[in-house]
Structure 1
Amino acid sequence: MDVRDRVIAIMAEQALMEPSDIEGTMTLEDLGIDSLGLVESIFAIEEAFDISIPFNANDPAASAFDISSVDTIVAAVAELVREQRDA
């Protein structure tokens, strides 16, 4: 399972949806994921990939982690995984 599939599976679980129903352009709001669900998703992603996501739950807009859509989350996680692998 690649990064995209794993991230989508985690988000689908949080959204109580099937992974096949999630599209890259969807936002967290589209998925029905609230702030608590976002934090839980981030923890699950960190655990799944053994990475640390630079995310401030108190001020998501100030975070370096782009949560504007499924595609941006996948891209950010893929970059963090690459950085971890290259470190």
Structure 2
Amino acid sequence: MTTDDRIIAIIAEQAMLEPGDVALEASLADLGIDSLGLVECIFAIEEGFDISVPFNANDPTASGFDISSVGAIIAAVKQLQAEQAG
């Protein structure tokens, strides 16, 4: 399973959707995920990828971790993986 597929699966599970129903351009709000769901998604992503998402991820201008869409989250996770791998 690719990084993209794993992240989509995590988000789909939180949104109670099938992974095929999660579009890259969709925001978490579009998928019915509220702020608590966002936190749960971030925890699952951190655990699943052994990374640390900045605590202020809900403010991309402060954290650099963009949560504006599914595709942005995937890109941000890949960036964090690269940074934290050294």
**What letter matches 2:74 in structure 1?**
V
Larger displacement relative to structure 2 (25-34 or 61-70): 61-70
How many equivalent pairs are there?
84
Q: Which has the higher contact order (CA 8 A, sep 6+)?
A: 1
Normalised TM-score (structure 1): 0.89
**What letter matches 1:24 in structure 2?**
L
**Identity across the alignment (%):** 64
Deviation, structure 1 residue 81: 1.2
Say if 2:82 is the partner of 1:82: yes
Q: How does 1:57-68 map onto structure 2 within 5 Å?
A: 60-61=58-59, 62-68=62-68
Residues of 2 paired with 1:63 and 1:79: CA distance?
12
Q: How does 1:1-87 map onto structure 2 within 5 Å?
A: 1-56=1-56, 60-61=58-59, 62-85=62-85, 87=86
Structure 1 pair 31–17 and aligned structure 2 pair: CA distance change class (3 A): same
Normalised TM-score (structure 2): 0.90
Residues of 2 paired with 1:29 and 1:39: CA distance?
13
Q: RMSD value over aligned CA atoms?
A: 1.3
Q: Which consecutive residues of structure 1, in runs of 5 or more, have no partner in the other structure?
A: none
SS of 1:29's equivalent? coil
Q: Which consecutive residues of structure 2, in runs of 5 or more, have no partner in the other structure?
A: none
Deviation, structure 1 residue 63: 3.1
SS of 1:4's equivalent? helix
